[in-house]
């Protein structure tokens, strides 16, 4: 199915394409506003939840109408909103101390966002010269993103969050033969979780090299996110589609991305792995995509919500979904066998038994009785139905559908914060970037690469 066909419905030609572009602009702006809003309101505020509710509604309406390729004006507006959000709420909070390096990292991120707009500016050259200029601007922007991540980590002394403390201890503890699920962590601020590592094993395994070599797990997490962005930018540059490269760069500089890196949230790993998997699917490298999805599944529990969706996409399919689940299970197996009761308590019972958070950025605690659980299930199923019926079955459509499902789930989850919402926004923008690249790429590659596998 072509992108045009996917967005026209009963209409065709230029009018249908323009409608698909307008709905893509709506989806893009909704994703950026979600990221910007939660970076400003990391925990519950009434107007923060209203903004999220409106954005998810707008996103669903855009998907229902059919999402095509965003317009240049839409991408420029998204980049401008991203810069504005970075100015309004830089990640200067929730650390024991911030140095001038932290401020320099924020400025580097702003510079990368501005550089991302270069391919959309009036051309000063054409043909090969313009392609070289666009590639040069993209490489400069990627360099600025890498510098921003490194400076924000180096310039943020001791994040005041349990995630960083338990991850620092677990990554070092596993090297010394300790069971992270049976450790007590000393670097956790008072009143936060310090006696249970409540994520899956890849969360503490991936950062081991940077914990040993650089003393901080956040460098490795940021590197995984950056790798996904680099792969996406490379694919976008290869397509030569005008808006694809700016969209790919936007994934790495969305509002809240620096805060996610700074606070050591493992959504940085998830975003890099899932975006990388979709790029590999676009390249026809589905086997390696399985490895990326397995990494995501072995990192955080709620990624399993996406597994049936990926199984339904022709380029991935049920067999690869089973293989990815088996790979994640193999990564977790040593700790399951070592102490099953402790593993189950930390990664499953901890979240199931956790009381509803009144500061959750969701509608969970606003609903009475059994309605919160019903709303979470209903919204997730509705997002699945919408994705499977209205989203094009391409790698870009897969990321767009994944972001939609996660956003619907976060809207009614009992514990939704900046990191969960940011991941949904990153997947939405990455999906739009792949969609923008697809028309040019598929002109050179067989269409079968998007539909192989079962």
**CA atoms of 45 and 290, how far apart (whole Å):** 39
pLDDT in tens, 18-45: 667 899 999 999 999 999 999 988 888 8
In this prediction, what percent of the chain has a pLDDT beyond 90?
Answer: 79
**pLDDT for the residue 448:** 36
Looking at per-residue pLDDT, the higher value among 111 and 122 belongs to 111
Specify the 3-state DSSP secondary structure of 41: coil
pLDDT at 14: 46
3-state secondary structure (DSSP) of residue 158: strand
Least confident of 8-17, 177-186, 217-226: 8-17
Q: Mean pLDDT over residues 288-299, rounded?
A: 98
Phi, psi for 444 (deg, rounded to 5): -105, -20
Pairing of strands 156-159, 95-98: antiparallel
Question: Residue 238: phi, psi to the nearest 5?
Answer: -65, -30
117 confidence band (pLDDT: 50, 70, 90)? very high
Supply the pLDDT for residue 126.
Answer: 61
CA 401 to chain centre: 12
**DSSP-assigned beta bridge partners for residue 31:** none
pLDDT tens sequence across 179-215:
999 999 988 999 899 999 999 999 999 999 999 999 9
List pLDDT tens digits, range 363-378: 988 898 889 999 999 9
Q: What is the CA radius of gyration of the chain?
A: 21
Amino acid 449: pLDDT: 37
Residue 230: enclosing H or E segment and its boundaries?
helix 218-239
Over 70: is that where the pLDDT of 320 sits? yes
Q: What is the pLDDT of residues 53-78, one digit of tens each?
A: 999 999 999 999 999 999 999 999 99
**156: phi then psi, degrees, rounded to nearest 5:** -115, 105
Q: Which residues contact 302 (CB under 8 A, 6 or more apart)?
A: 406, 409, 420
For 44, 53, 143, 149, the CA distances from 416, given in Å and listed in that order, are 9, 13, 32, 24
Rounded Cα gap, residues 154 and 430, in angstroms: 27
Least confident among 133-147, 326-340, 342-356: 342-356
What is the dihedral sign for C-alpha 240, 241, 247, 251? negative
- Output b/e per residue, 403-437; b: 16+ Cβ within 10 A: bbbbbbbbbbbbbbbbbbbbbbbbbbbbbbbbbbb
Evaluated on CA atoms 86, 89, 94, 96, the torsion sign reads positive
| 357 phi/psi in degrees, rounded to 5 | -85, 125
Compute CA distances 141 → 88, 134, 177, 257, whole Å: 21, 10, 41, 15
Confidence of residue 123 (pLDDT cuts 50, 70, 90): low
Question: Which bin fits 389, alpha (ψ -120 to 50), beta or left (φ > 0)?
Answer: alpha
Tell me the average pLDDT of the chain.
Answer: 90
Q: What is the spatial distance between Cα 354 and Cα 78, in angstroms, rounded to a whole number?
A: 36
User: How many CB atoms sit inside 10 A of residue 307's CB?
Assistant: 19
Q: Inform me whether the pLDDT recorded for 124 exceeds 60.
A: no
The gap between the terminal CA atoms of the chain, to the nearest Å, is: 18
Q: 159 φ, ψ to 5°?
A: -55, 140
Measure the CA–CA gap between 92 and 77, rounded to whole angstroms.
25
């Amino acid at each position: 199915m072509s992108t045009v066909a996917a967005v026209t419905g009963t209409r065709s030609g230029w009018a249908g394409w323009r409608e698909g572009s307008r709905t893509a602009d709506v989806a893009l702006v909704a994703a950026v506003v979600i990221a910007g809003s939660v970076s400003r309101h990391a925990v519950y505020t009434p107007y923060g939840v209203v903004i999220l509710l409106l954005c998810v509604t707008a996103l669903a309406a855009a998907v229902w109408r059919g999402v095509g390729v965003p317009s240049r004006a839409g991408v420029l507006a998204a980049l401008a909103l991203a810069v504005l959000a970075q100015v309004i709420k830089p990640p200067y909070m929730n650390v024991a101390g911030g140095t001038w390096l932290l401020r320099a990292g924020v400025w580097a991120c702003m510079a990368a966002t501005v550089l991302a707009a270069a391919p959309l500016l009036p051309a000063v050259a054409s043909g090969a010269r313009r392609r070289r200029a666009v590639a040069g601007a993209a490489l400069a922007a990627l360099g600025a993103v890498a510098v921003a991540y490194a400076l924000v980590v180096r310039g943020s002394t001791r994040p005041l969050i349990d995630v960083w403390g338990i991850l620092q201890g677990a990554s070092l503890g596993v090297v010394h033969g300790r069971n992270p699920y049976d450790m007590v962590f000393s670097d956790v601020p008072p009143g936060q979780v310090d006696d249970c590592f409540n994520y899956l094993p890849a969360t503490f395994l991936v950062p081991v090299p940077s914990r040993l070599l650089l003393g901080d797990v956040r460098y490795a997490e940021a590197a995984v996110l950056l790798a996904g962005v680099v792969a996406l930018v490379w694919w976008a540059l290869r397509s030569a589609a005008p808006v694809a490269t700016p969209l790919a760069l936007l994934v790495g500089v969305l509002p809240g991305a620096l805060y996610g890196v700074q606070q050591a949230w493992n959504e940085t790993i998830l975003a890099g792995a899932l975006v990388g998997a979709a790029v590999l699917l676009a390249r026809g490298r589905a086997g390696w995509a399985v490895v990326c999805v397995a990494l995501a599944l072995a990192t955080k529990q709620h990624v399993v919500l996406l597994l049936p969706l990926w199984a339904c996409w022709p380029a991935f399919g049920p067999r690869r979904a089973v293989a990815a689940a088996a790979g994640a299970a193999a990564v977790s197996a040593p700790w399951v066998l070592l102490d099953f009761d402790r593993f189950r308590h930390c990664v499953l019972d901890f979240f199931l038994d956790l009381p509803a958070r009144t500061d959750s950025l969701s509608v969970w605690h606003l609903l009475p009785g059994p309605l919160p659980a019903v709303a979470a299930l209903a919204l997730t199923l509705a997002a699945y139905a919408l994705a499977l019926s209205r989203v094009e079955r391409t790698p870009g459509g897969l990321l767009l559908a994944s972001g939609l499902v996660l956003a619907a789930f976060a809207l009614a989850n009992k514990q939704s914060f900046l990191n969960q919402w940011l991941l949904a926004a990153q997947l939405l923008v990455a999906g739009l970037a792949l969609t923008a690249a697809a028309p040019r790429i598929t002109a050179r590659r067989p269409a079968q690469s998007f539909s192989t596998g079962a």
